[in-house]
Amino acid sequence: MAQESNVVIDHGKSQWSDLWKKEDFLAIWLGFIIIAVCILAYTTYGPKAEFAEKIAAANQIQQAELAKAPFKTIAWHNAQDAKGKLKGSSSAFGKFASHWTKTPGSWKTNPLDSLVRSEAQAQALNEKGMAKYEEAKAKLEVALAAAVSAEGVAAGASFQDQGLNDEASAKIAEWRAAHKAAGDAKKKVENKPYNYVLSLIGLCIFIAIIFGAGIALMGKSAPAFLQGFAIVFLVAVLAYVLGGQAISKQYGFGAEAWGVLLGMVIANTVGTPKWVLPACEVEFFIKTGLVLLGAEVLFNKIVAIGTPGIFVAWVVTPVVLVCTYIFGQTVLKMPSKTLNIVISADMSVCGTSAAIATAAACRAKKEELTLSIGLSLVFTAIMMIAMPAFIKAVGIPEVLGGAWMGGTIDSTGAVAAAGAFLGQKAMYVAATIKMIQNVMIGVTAFCVAVYWVTKVEATDAGHSVGVGEIWHRFPKFVLGFIAASIIFSILDQNMGKDLGGAIVDHGIVRGGTRLLRGWFFALSFAAIGLSTNFRELAKYFKGGKPLILYVCGQSLNLVLTLAMAYLMFYVVFPEITAKI
Amino acid sequence: MTEKSLSVRLKNFTLVLGTALAFVYLFLPLLTTSCGILNRMSMYLDDNGIDPTRYYYTDVVQVKESEDYLRFALEEK
């Protein structure tokens, strides 16, 4: 029983009261209440109608420009920029939500900088970036003047002269590059003073209340939860502070890793106080965070780079996942099937987020999740540096290199970093392939949950499992996760790319659900650390099998992804590569 | 299992946490500054505001930028 308390599941027969008493359902309700509030705030009571009007006006301009010239004109790009500026998160609700869910910021030498930044510090940072910004601004003006002049000459020939059209198109491309550079430089002079202490206290109270209510409904002691929650929250905040340091971040050692490490150091040295343990509700935090993550799993994203992207991210990935799992069971004879599948998903799909979703879907133990994420962090740091260096050394083209890194490096941030290090196009391809792969976690979690209740647990139990039993055992929060994903995919699709981007992506998700999802996962990692025993963790690593599994699976991933990327981008669809 | 005294536990806490902090905040910066490729990468990430610790695509600004670039690049016109 003591061992079972470690497992991500609830017990007992299915009853109607499960709907308001069981953790899985409470995670769904809590997640969906947050989702509903965000949808209402950004649509019915938000800027949706105003944005739709502005987008329609910009679309009219763009259509007129496309009818006029055989290339995208300056006015076309200006209209596109105007659409890009429309973000739900800039609304009053967006600003409110962002203010009260702030995480400690970045710092270089003084950790306190992550919590408080004075007016003088902000000004000093802005002054530091001002010279670069002024230079970028001047280059932008020159590039714009050249683009206006070239477009004017092409227009003078009624856009009938191909040479003049090409010249104008090239000048406009130069202006866009200068525009991006100026935009990046501008971000460095927009630093503002802040003090996050008050908002963190407010957030702590808010999260304590919502989860405390859930705990009370589950029949556990809410006062005991509330008493210990402040410590769990404090560890999560400290983890954000420690993970915010520039060098720590560079190696992928962020808040999640620090949360587990800090919690484990406390638990295994001074000892986690007994009154804190009732607040270490790892599963409740994770399941609620996953329901919110469902809102970010948008299925329409998988066509972002056409058929090659689907093959690289959606064909290779499941093949690697299944092969790695089978290899772990048949060759390595991994004693824990849950650890085997969590490492396989973590390595093949998208690192931490896939590990969390899979671990919860197959009811893995928290030590198994910790171990998988630890392996992923180490290999991500190595691959993020080694892969672009290797690709440059052997002269692999940028698009192929980007697709290879996007399909193999675990974490999305590390993929963007490695891609950017290789080149601009490599980053575009790598980040987009990774995004398509990210969307797979919904399917992965659902398939793993179904496979586990129908096959693995049935085999372990030694008898066939009926429909009622399958329903009883099924981790219900996965349904909430999938439902959120389907709802948001439909919502995003129906609104269209521009309005969907402004309202769903930059509103409901980035200005709402994602903010709390980040905190719920950070809390779960702090809680995992605070309730994990070093000895228990070491037991799972015995014989080094998890490491061998990861290395073998990743090797297969590297070979298959490179082969598929080459085949898709250079043999089957070279015209797509040419356009990139 | 026998409970260790508070002073021993505090000593262990300081030792383990100190080692972890020293590794990340002393060893890694030293490694970064002394190795050319790591130093370049560090500056590049800092200049471009890329955060390798973020694990999901909605957490990474560069993903949206990439998606938009490919959307327009792959369009017919």
Q: Does A299 touch chain B (CB under 8 A)?
A: no
| Token digits of residue A346 | 């973590």
What residues of chain B lie within 8 A of the CB of A385, using their CB?
37-38, 41
Average pLDDT over residues B3-11: 88
Place of tokens 């919110």: A292
A250 to chain B nearest CA, in Å?
A: 6
Does the beta carbon of A293 lie under 8 angstroms from any beta carbon of chain B? yes
Q: Hey, is the C-beta of A442 within 8 angstroms of any chain B C-beta? A: no
What is the distance between the terminal CA atoms of chain A, rounded to a whole angstrom?
Answer: 56
3-state SS, residue A212: helix
> How many residues appear in chain B?
77
* Residue contact B13–A252, C-beta within 8 A: no
CA distance A441 to B57: 12
Query: Residue A248: closest CA among chain B residues belongs to which residue?
Result: B24
Mutation site, A270, A307, A508, interface B, largest B CB count within 10 A = A270
DSSP letter string over A501-514?
A: IIIIIIIIIIIIIH
Burial of residue A178, with CB atoms counted within 10 A of its CB: 0-12 exposed, 13-18 middle, 19 or more buried: buried
Region B5-25 average pLDDT: 92
What residues form DSSP beta bridges with A117? A194
d(CA A283, CA A272): 18
pLDDT single digits (tens) A289-307 = 999 999 999 998 998 888 9
Contact list in A for residue B38 (CB cut-off 8 A) is 385
Task: Find out whether A472 and A11 touch, Cβ atoms under 8 Å.
Answer: no
- Cα–Cα distance for residue pair A78/A150, rounded to 1 Å: 16
Q: Do B29 and A505 touch (CB under 8 A)?
A: no
Which residues of chain B are within 8 Å of residue A271 when distances are taken between CB atoms?
Answer: 9
Cβ atoms of A556 and A348 within 8 Å: the answer is no
**How many angstroms separate the CA of residue B9 from the nearest CA in chain A?**
5
ipTM of the complex: 0.91
Say which residue the tokens 């905190």 belong to: A519
> Which residues have CB under 8 Å from A478's CB, separation 6+?
A360, A361, A445, A446, A449
Tokens of B73: 């690049």
Helix axis angle, A74-84 relative to A162-187, nearest 10°? 30
Half-sphere exposure of B65 (CA within 13 A, CB side): 22
C-beta of residue A513 within 8 angstroms of C-beta of residue A285 = no
- The ranges assigned to domains in chain A are 123-192, 241-579
Q: Is A243 on the interface with B (CB under 8 A)?
A: yes
Q: A107 by DSSP, 3-state: which?
A: strand
Over chain B, what is the mean pLDDT?
88
Helix (H) or strand (E) holding A227: helix A222-243
Which are the contacts of A227, defined by CB distance < 8 A and separation ≥ 6? A275, A278, A279
Q: How far apart are CA A285 and CA A30, in angstroms?
A: 10
* Residue A245, strand partner residues: A107
**Three-state SS sequence of A17-46:** CHHHHCHHHHHHHHHHHHHHHHHHHHCCCC
Task: Kindly report the nearest CA distance between residue B24 and chain A, in angstroms.
Answer: 6
Q: Which residue of B has its CA nearest to A263?
A: B17
- Measured CA to CA, the distance from residue A458 to residue A461 in angstroms comes to 5
Interchain CB contacts (distance < 8 Å): A and B: 176
> What are the distances in angstroms from CA A319 to CA A285, A314, A327, A505?
31, 9, 12, 30
Nearest chain A residue to B56 by CA: give it. Answer: A412
Mutation choice for B interface testing from A62, A114, A250, A310 by most B CBs within 10 A: A250
Q: What distance in Å separates residue A432's CA from the closest CA in chain B?
A: 6
Query: Which residues in chain A (516-535) have CB-CB distances under 8 A to chain B?
Result: 518
Q: Which residues of chain A have pLDDT under 70?
A: 1-13, 461-465
Give the 3-state secondary structure of A364-425: CEHHHHHHHHHHHHHHHHHHHHHHHHHHHHHCCCHHHHHHHHHHHCCCHHHHHHHHHHHCHH
Contact B77 A271 (CB under 8 A): no
CB contact under 8 A, A435 and B62: no
Look at B56 and A248 and tell me if their CB atoms are within 8 Å. no
Report CB contact under 8 Å: B42, A518.
Answer: no
pLDDT at position B2 over 90: no
In sequence order, the 6+-apart residues with CB closer than 8 A to the CB of B50 are: A413, A416, A417, A420, B44, B60, B62
Question: Are the Cβ atoms of A579 and B74 closer than 8 angstroms?
Answer: yes
Report the residue of chain B nearest A412, measured CA to CA. B55
Q: Chain B: residue nearest A382 by CA?
A: B38
Whole-prediction pTM value?
A: 0.92
A84 has a chain B CB within 8 A of its CB: yes
DSSP class of A348: I
- CB–CB contact A414 B73 (8 Å): no
In angstroms, rounded to a whole number, what is the distance separating the alpha carbons of residues A305 and A318? 19
pLDDT the model gives residue A350:
87
Residue identified by tokens 């800039």 is: A90
What is A143-208 written as a DSSP string?
HHHHHHHHHHHHHHTTT--HHHHHHHHHHHHHHHHHHHHHHHHHHTT----EE-HHHHHHHHHHHH
Choose the closest CB to A250 out of B21, B52, B65.
B52
Residue A174: beta bridge partners? none
> At which residue do the structure tokens 């671990």 appear?
A359
Quote the pLDDT of residue A2: 37
Residues in chain A with CB shorter than 8 Å from the CB of B74 are 305-306, 576, 579-580
First to last CA, chain B: 72
DSSP 8-state secondary structure symbol assigned to residue A252: T
Asked if A84's CB is within 8 angstroms of B68's CB, the reply is yes
Residue A216 and residue A266 in contact, taking contact as beta carbons nearer than 8 Å: no
To probe the interface with B, which of A301, A412, A506, A520 has the most B CB atoms within 10 Å?
A412
Q: Which residues of A touch B31 (CB under 8 A)?
A: none
Q: What is the pLDDT of residue A461?
A: 65
